[in-house]
């Protein structure tokens, strides 16, 4: 694992503007909120040869609260190389106000060299060799399906649905590889190594680190410590508060107990769980503050999914949930910043697309399922290690609560040009269910066709 903080330098056009470290920025803005002097006067009092002294004096003057001032540091960018897909998922889950990116299974071919080690994942020693063998076998099934589907797409180009206007062979090759990678990825282990880049304020970094440290996995403890070390270069006074507390520790324990009890009861199913989409809508408004426009008026002037919506849509709350979200899709939908995303990571089934026959993989999936059950029910350590045993085809419940304008954006994004075929299926069903509940919103959603992939 390698952690790298990225320092931002001003562009040439802003070379004469005031400059500040993240903590100096936070200190000055905190003082700014309690002074009528103006920013130029406050900045003029900073000793440029010893900015730390100015930071300390301003912090003392404003009697600051760590949480609120931590949000004034601006975005601190951190790149994390060599972290498991599972822990990357948790990073995005914990930091629900971040901006970020992760290595894409749609463009990058993963290999068995990128598998986490059993001790990093917290696999009990008595299960370590069997765990590693099964995870490496998952990579082999991934490679097998990729090779077969890539060959098939070469022989039958109509399967790929190339756009009619695409003639560039390099572009066609990329689209063809997307076709194969999109359908092979369900055999990838959640313990495969990926890379993540996140940008957020010191406040959000501190909250994220606290929650990462509460996880019972050795990799998580290592990551929390490494993040504190790197972020201390940017915001030492604020990051020192990034320590696990009793609340996050308690919630982490509840999470493990929840999936352990469910797996003990229902084991780890490998049959495809059919789609069931739930959409709940709250349109309750105060009697003294009703909407000032119709839903149709709230999309007036809309050009595309980036267009702003009016207050009516933005005041409607939507809770959408799927009973069978494959972890492959969960990773991406979990990266939407808005609202609250939730899954208990309880296995409900195993998804394979229609183009991937189950037969050649049935024995492997049964052995994997039996192993996962034995591991989780063996001990507290084994139960905690469940996420590192998940394959990307594992189906779990997933819920996302957000305002209606954000929901519509997500539907349009995930059904739009170039979207993964499975996103398009799941989000189109959710969008149509929303229209059933709110019929007057039928013209609000511009469903796409998700082609090309």
Distance CA 39, CA 255 (A): 46
Q: How confident is the model at residue 259 (pLDDT cuts 50, 70, 90)?
A: very high
411 touches 425 (CB < 8 A): no
61 pLDDT higher than 60: no
pLDDT of 107 reads 85
pLDDT of 417 reads 84
In this structure, what DSSP letter does residue 235 have? Answer: -
Q: What is the mean pLDDT of residues 317-339?
A: 94
The domains located in the chain, with CATH, are 1-105+192-244 (3.30.1360.170), 277-441 (3.30.1360.170)
64 pLDDT higher than 60: no
The pTM assigned to this predicted structure is 0.92
Average pLDDT, the chain: 92
Distance CA 204, CA 183 (A): 35
Q: Which of 11-15, 84-88, 184-188 has the lowest mean pLDDT?
A: 11-15
7 pLDDT higher than 60: yes
Question: Could you tell me the strand order of the sheet in which 2-6 lies?
Answer: 2-6, 76-84, 193-200, 99-102
Distance CA 321, CA 236 (A): 40
pLDDT of 66 reads 54
- Say which residues have a Cβ less than 8 Å from residue 244's Cβ, sequence separation at least 6: 210, 211, 213, 214, 224
């Amino acid at each position: 694992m390698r952690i790298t903080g990225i320092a931002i330098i001003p562009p040439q056009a802003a070379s004469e503007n005031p400059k500040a470290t993240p903590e100096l920025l936070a200190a000055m803005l905190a003082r700014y909120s309690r002074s009528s002097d103006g920013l130029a006067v406050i900045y003029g009092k900073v000793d440029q040869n010893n900015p730390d002294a100015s930071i300390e004096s301003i912090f003392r003057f404003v009697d600051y609260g760590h949480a609120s001032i931590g949000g004034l540091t601006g975005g601190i960018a951190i790149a994390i190389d060599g972290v498991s897909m599972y822990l990357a998922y948790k990073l995005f889950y914990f930091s629900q106000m971040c901006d970020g990116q992760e290595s894409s299974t749609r463009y990058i071919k993963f290999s068995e060299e990128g598998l986490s080690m059993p001790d990093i994942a917290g696999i009990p020693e008595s299960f370590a060799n069997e765990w590693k063998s099964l995870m490496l076998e998952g990579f082999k099934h991934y490679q097998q399906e990729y090779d077969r589907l890539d060959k098939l797409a070469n022989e039958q180009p109509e399967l790929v649905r190339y756009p009619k206007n695409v003639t560039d062979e390099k572009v066609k090759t990329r689209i063809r590889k997307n076709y194969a990678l999109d359908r092979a990825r369900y055999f990838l282990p959640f313990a495969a190594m990926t890379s993540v880049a996140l940008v957020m304020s010191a406040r959000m970094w501190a909250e994220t680190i606290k929650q990462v440290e509460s996880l019972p996995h050795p990799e998580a403890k290592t990551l929390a410590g490494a993040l504190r070390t790197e972020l201390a270069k940017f915001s030492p006074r604020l990051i020192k508060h990034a320590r696990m507390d009793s609340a996050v520790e308690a919630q982490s324990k509840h999470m493990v107990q929840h999936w352990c009890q469910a797996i003990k009861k229902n084991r780890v199913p490998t049959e495809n769980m059919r789609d069931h989409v739930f959409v709940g809508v709250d349109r309750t408004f105060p009697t003294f503050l009703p909407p000032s426009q119709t839903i149709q008026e709230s999309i007036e002037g809309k050009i595309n999914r980036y267009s702003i919506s009016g207050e009516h849509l933005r005041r409607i709350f939507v809770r959408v949930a799927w009973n069978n979200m494959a972890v492959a899709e969960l990773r991406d939908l979990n990266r939407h910043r808005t609202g609250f995303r939730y899954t208990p990571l309880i296995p409900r089934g195993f998804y394979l697309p229609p183009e991937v026959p189950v037969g050649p993989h049935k024995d492997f999936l049964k052995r994997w399922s039996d192993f996962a059950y034995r591991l989780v029910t063996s001990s507290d350590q084994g139960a905690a290690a469940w996420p590192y045993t998940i394959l990307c085809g594992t189906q779990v419940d997933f819920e996302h609560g957000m305002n209606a304008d954000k929901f519509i954006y997500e539907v349009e994004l995930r059904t739009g040009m170039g979207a993964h075929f499975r996103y398009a299926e799941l989000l189109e069903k959710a969008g149509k269910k929303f229209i059933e509940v709110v019929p007057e919103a039928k013209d609000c959603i511009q469903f796409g066709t998700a082609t090309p992939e």
